[in-house]
Structure 1
Amino acid sequence: MKLSTIFAAILGAAIAGGGTAYYYQQNPSTQQQTAFTVLPLDTTKAGEINSTSLVNLSNGVRSVPFTLTAEAGQFYKIAVTGALRAQISVLQNGLLIASSTTAKNNCDECSNSSTAVAPAMLAFKAETAGKYDVVVSGLDSNAYGPFSVTATPLKTYVGSVVKAGMDITEIAMGRQQEFKLEVDEKAIYTIDMKADQGRLDPYLSLLDQNGRELVSDDDGGDNYDAKIQTYLEPGTYTIQTSSAVGADTFQGTYRLIIAKEALTSDITLESGATLHADGAKQTGLYNGQAQEFTFELPETMLVSLDVNALGFDPDVMVDGASINYQRRGQYTLRAVLEAGTHSITIDGSQGGIYDLALSASSVPANAGGGAIRVGDTRQAVMLSGVTRINYTLDITQAGNYVIDMASPVFDTSLSLHQNGYTLAENDDIDYSNGNTNSRIEMELEPGRYQIQAMALSEGSRNRDYSVAVKRK
C-alpha cells in the first residue's frame, strides 16, 4: 500500500475517533510524511476535494492536508469557506489536537438558500512551537468541491480592556471569560457576541464597577447569538461571556463587537413627573429602574401616546395594560380613556433613551369608553386608527360575571384588570368555528375593575362593536 493511502486511511480514523488514534504509522518505514501545502498566516489558500484526494478507506471521506508553523502558546483560528461541506482537524506529530464540524444555514454569511453551506471554523492553542497539520476534509463521503482555507493568529483580550469600536475574535476554552469595558462618554452601547462555531451558544452579562449585574442576554442577537443594548455613563464595566447551556460547553471561537451611538437629545423627562397631554415630545432615560408617570383627564377623552425607544425594547403600559409595539422600538396607543388620573409605565430588561409624546382630544359621538354597569350592553364604534377602548366596571355584589365583546367587522379581544394586574384575557370564543368574538367569565368580588376592549387590527375607518356585562 502506498504511503499516501496508509496516511489517508489512518487519518480518517483519527478524525472519526476524536483524537484517540494516530494518523502516521509508528514505525521508521512510514515516518516520512508526504509534502503538504504550506499554510501561511493571514493568507487564503485554495483547495479542492475531488476523487484524487486522500481517502479514508473506512468511510470514504476525502481530505486535503496543509502544514502550519505555529508559536508556542499562540491561539489560531482556521476558517474554511466555499462550496465544500467541510470539517477541520489539527494534528501534531500524528496526534489529533482539535477537530470541528459545521452545518448548513447556521451563519450570517450564508444565504437563505436551502443549499447554502456554513463556513467551517476551528480554533486551537499551540502548546508547543513547531509544525502542525491542518486537514480539510469532507463532512461525509459525498462531500466534494472547492474551498478556501485561512489561518489567523488570535490576539486575546480576555482580562484586558476593550472599548467601543472594537471587533475582536476570541476562543472559549470551557470557562467563563471577562473583559474590562472602558466607557469614556455617556451613550447607547451595543455589545454583540456572535458564535463562529455552531456548538457555542453565546450568553452575555454586563456588570457595573461593583460587580452587580446590570443586564444579561441569551438570544437577543441573530440566530442564537447574544446582544446587549443599554445606556452607560462613563466608567469601567465588566463584560462576561459564556454559554447559555453552561460554562463547561463554552468552547469554540466567537466575535465580540462593541459599538456606541452618541445621544442627540437632552434628557428632559424624569420618573415621577406629571405629564401634560399637549402633544409635546420629551426625552427620557431608562437605566434599569421602572419609569412611572401620571396624567389627568378632566373628562372621557381620545388619548394618543407615542413612545420611540433607542437602544432597547421596553415594556410600555398604560393603567397597567401593555401596549403592543408597531415595529421594533416604536409603540403607539390610541384609546378612549375615562376622566381621572392615569398612569404610564416604561420598564424593560435593558436600558436606553426614549421619546414620549402624549395628546388628548374630544371623543367623537358613539366612541364608547367610560363607565359601564352590570346589565348594560354598549353599542359603539372603534374609531379609525384606534385599537383599544377602556371601560370602568364597578362590582357591588360578589358573583359570577360574564363580559362579552362582539363585532361584525373585526377580530375582538378582551382583558380585565384591577389595581394594575391582569385578571383575565380572551381573544376568540371559538376560533375553530369562526367565532372571533370575545368572552370573559369569572368570579368577581366587590370593587372597581377596568375592561379593555380591543381590535386586533388597526382599521382605516370606524368599525361597529358592542360590549356587554351581566351577572349569571
Structure 2
Amino acid sequence: MASRRGVWAVTTLALMGGSFIAGVVLTPHLGTRDSAAPTPRVAIGDSVRGELRAGSPINLKDGSRYQHFRLDLGAPEILLLELEAPFAGSITVLDENNGLLAHEAPDAGVGSRPQVGFRAPAEGSYTVVVSGQDHRGFGPFTLSAQQVDLQQPDALVDAGELRGWHEGSATTHALEVTERARYAIALASDSFDTVLEVTGNGVSREDDDGGDGSNSLVETILEPGTYTLRVSAFGGESASGLYTLAVTSQPAPDMTGMVNQGPLPLDRMLTGWLEPRAPNTYTLQVDTRGPYTFDLRSDDFDTVIEIEGQELLLEDDDGGEGTNSRLQADLPAGRYEVRVRAFGSEGPGTYTLVVRQGR
C-alpha cells in the first residue's frame, strides 16, 4: 500500500525475553518519512517530550497509537530507557533493519513508568517506539535515555549495590562478610525472571521469586568469610537484560538458648530460628493417647505447623491469633514429627513453640 506519509510495511513482533508480543502491526516504514516531518530524536542523557493523539499512527493489532524516535549511537552502549506518561504505555527498541532488540510493556497499568534496558551491539541509528497498551492510551509523555555504568567492585563488602547485564550464561559476584549478621540479598530485574544462588563458607541457598513479583531474595545469617552470588534467569539462557543486586544487613539475633531441632518436650516453651524455605523438625513422643494443643508464634513471619505420625498428617496456618498457628488434635500414643515453617517464602525469624496435653 502507499501513503502520503511513506511506504507502509507489515511487521510481526516475535519472542523477546520470554514474552510473546502477539499480532501483526501495520506501520509506516520507519525510514521513509519525508523531510516535512522529520523523525524526532532522543539523545543519551536527555529526555524528549511527545504525545499520543487521535491522529497518531495506529497499531492495527490492538488499536493503540504510537510515536517513534531516532536514537543515534557512536559506539556500542548499554542504555536504560524510561517512559513517564499518564497512560499505560510500552517501549520498543528496533535496530537499523527493524529487528526487535527490546520491549517492555508492564502490566502494572497507568503510572507504572515502564523502563527497558538494552545492549546496542554497534554504533548506528536505532528506533525507539512509544505506544499505548491499548486503544485508550492517549496523552503527553516524556521519554528519557540514560547510559548505564556497569563498573563494578571486585567484591561487595558487607553491604552495597551494583548493576549488571545478564545475557546467556550466569554471572557471579563476590561478597565479603567481615562480621556475623543477618543479611538480605536482593536480585531484581524488569527484563527477566531472576534466580539467585548464594554459596560459600558452608552456605548453599537459592531463590527464584521470594522478592516482589519474579524477583529473588535470600535472607540468612552469614558468618565472616567469602561468598559467591550467582545471577541467572529462570527457565534457560535465552533471557537478557539489566539487573540490580543489593546487599543489606542488620545485627544477627542472639542464638543462645535457641533450639531448632530435636526432641520436643511437653509443657516447655522452646525458642527457635527459622530460615526461609527450610522447615525445622522436632520429634514428639506421646505416651498417653488424648488431646494435645500445639501453639506456634512469631512476630517475624506467618507461621505454619505440621504434625505427622501414626497415620496422621495435620497442619495449621493461622488457627491462633493473627498469623500465628494453633493446632488441637487427639493423638494416639507413638512417635511424631513436628515441623515448623513459614507460609510461602516468608522468613527468616524467631518463633516460640509449646505443646501441652489437653485443650
- Quickly name the TM-score band, shorter chain normalised: 0.5 to 0.7
> Is 1:260 matched with 2:263?
no
- Tell me, in whole angstroms, the C-alpha distance in 2 between the residues paired with 1:175 and 1:264: 34
C-alpha distance after superposition, 1:351-400 (max 9, x if no partner): 9xxxxxxxxxxxxxxxxxxxxxxxxxxxxxxxxxxxxxxx97436xxxxx
- Tell me, in whole angstroms, the C-alpha distance in 2 between the residues paired with 1:318 and 1:133: 63
* 8 Å CA contact retained: 2:11, 2:27: yes
* 8 Å CA contact retained: 1:186, 1:234: yes
The Cα shift of 1:121 comes to: 2.6
Task: Name the CA shift for 1:426/1:168 in 2 (closer, same or farther; >3 Å).
Answer: closer
Match of 1:14 among 11, 16, 29: 11
The Cα shift of 1:41 comes to: 2.0
Task: Name the CA shift for 1:257/1:58 in 2 (closer, same or farther; >3 Å).
Answer: closer
User: Partner letter of residue 141 of structure 1?
Assistant: H
* 8 Å CA contact retained: 2:186, 2:245: yes
Match of 1:239 among 217, 220, 229: 229
The Cα shift of 1:129 comes to: 0.9
Superposed, which structure 2 residues align to 1:62-73 within 5 Å?
Answer: 62-73=65-76
Partner SS for 2:237: helix
Task: Name the CA shift for 1:174/1:142 in 2 (closer, same or farther; >3 Å).
Answer: farther
Partner residue of 1:4? Answer: 5
Partner residue of 2:161? Answer: 167
Partner residue of 1:217? Answer: 207
Q: Where does structure 1 lack aligned partners over 5 or more consecutive residues?
A: 106-114, 266-282, 286-290, 294-315, 322-334, 352-390, 396-400, 407-413, 428-435, 452-464
Match of 1:284 among 255, 260, 269: 255
Partner residue of 2:217? Answer: 227
* 8 Å CA contact retained: 1:190, 1:228: yes
* 8 Å CA contact retained: 1:15, 1:96: no
C-alpha distance after superposition, 1:380-433 (max 9, x if no partner): xxxxxxxxxxx97436xxxxx7x4579xxxxxxx98678xx9954377xxxxxx
The Cα shift of 1:88 comes to: 1.6
User: Partner letter of residue 85 of structure 2?
Assistant: G
The Cα shift of 1:74 comes to: 1.6
The Cα shift of 1:250 comes to: 3.4
- Tell me, in whole angstroms, the C-alpha distance in 2 between the residues paired with 1:97 and 1:441: 63
User: Partner letter of residue 215 of structure 2?
Assistant: D
User: Partner letter of residue 177 of structure 2?
Assistant: V
Match of 1:425 among 314, 320, 324: 314
The Cα shift of 1:159 comes to: 9.4
- Tell me, in whole angstroms, the C-alpha distance in 1 between the residues paired with 2:44 and 2:229: 29
- Tell me, in whole angstroms, the C-alpha distance in 2 between the residues paired with 1:423 and 1:58: 56
Partner residue of 1:125? Answer: 119
> In angstroms, what is the RMSD of aligned CA positions?
4.5
Match of 1:348 among 250, 269, 275: 275
Partner residue of 1:336? Answer: 267
Partner SS for 1:53: coil
- Tell me, in whole angstroms, the C-alpha distance in 1 between the residues paired with 2:327 and 2:170: 51
Partner SS for 2:116: strand
Moved over 6 A (4+): 18-24, 414-418, 448-451
Task: Name the CA shift for 1:16/1:239 in 2 (closer, same or farther; >3 Å).
Answer: same
Task: Name the CA shift for 1:448/1:82 in 2 (closer, same or farther; >3 Å).
Answer: closer
- Tell me, in whole angstroms, the C-alpha distance in 1 between the residues paired with 2:240 and 2:113: 17
The Cα shift of 1:32 comes to: 5.8
Task: Name the CA shift for 1:257/1:438 in 2 (closer, same or farther; >3 Å).
Answer: closer
* 8 Å CA contact retained: 1:64, 1:136: yes
C-alpha distance after superposition, 1:49-78 (max 9, x if no partner): 111223345653321112222243321121
The Cα shift of 1:226 comes to: 1.0
Task: Name the CA shift for 1:182/1:143 in 2 (closer, same or farther; >3 Å).
Answer: same
- Compare relative contact order (CA 8 Å, sep 6+) and give the higher one, 1 or 2: 2
* 8 Å CA contact retained: 1:426, 1:439: no
> Is 1:151 matched with 2:78?
no
C-alpha distance after superposition, 1:64-98 (max 9, x if no partner): 11222224332112122322222222223242232
Task: Name the CA shift for 1:61/1:256 in 2 (closer, same or farther; >3 Å).
Answer: same
Q: What count of residue pairs does the alignment treat as equivalent?
A: 309
The Cα shift of 1:239 comes to: 0.9
Task: Name the CA shift for 1:257/1:343 in 2 (closer, same or farther; >3 Å).
Answer: closer
The Cα shift of 1:240 comes to: 0.8
- Tell me, in whole angstroms, the C-alpha distance in 2 between the residues paired with 1:76 and 1:102: 17
C-alpha distance after superposition, 1:100-133 (max 9, x if no partner): 242333xxxxxxxxx6443323222111112212
User: Partner letter of residue 162 of structure 2?
Assistant: I
User: Partner letter of residue 70 of structure 2?
Assistant: T
Partner SS for 2:145: strand
Partner SS for 2:71: strand
- Tell me, in whole angstroms, the C-alpha distance in 2 between the residues paired with 1:26 and 1:67: 9
* 8 Å CA contact retained: 1:405, 1:438: yes
> For the pair shown, which has the larger CA radius of gyration, 1 or 2?
1
Partner residue of 1:93? Answer: 96
- Tell me, in whole angstroms, the C-alpha distance in 2 between the residues paired with 1:89 and 1:232: 41
Partner SS for 1:66: strand
Task: Name the CA shift for 1:4/1:91 in 2 (closer, same or farther; >3 Å).
Answer: farther
* 8 Å CA contact retained: 2:49, 2:142: yes
Match of 2:287 among 381, 394, 398: 394
The Cα shift of 1:204 comes to: 0.8
The Cα shift of 1:185 comes to: 4.3
C-alpha distance after superposition, 1:286-340 (max 9, x if no partner): xxxxx975xxxxxxxxxxxxxxxxxxxxxx568449xxxxxxxxxxxxx834xxx
Q: 1 or 2, which has the higher helix percentage?
A: 1
* 8 Å CA contact retained: 1:76, 1:123: yes
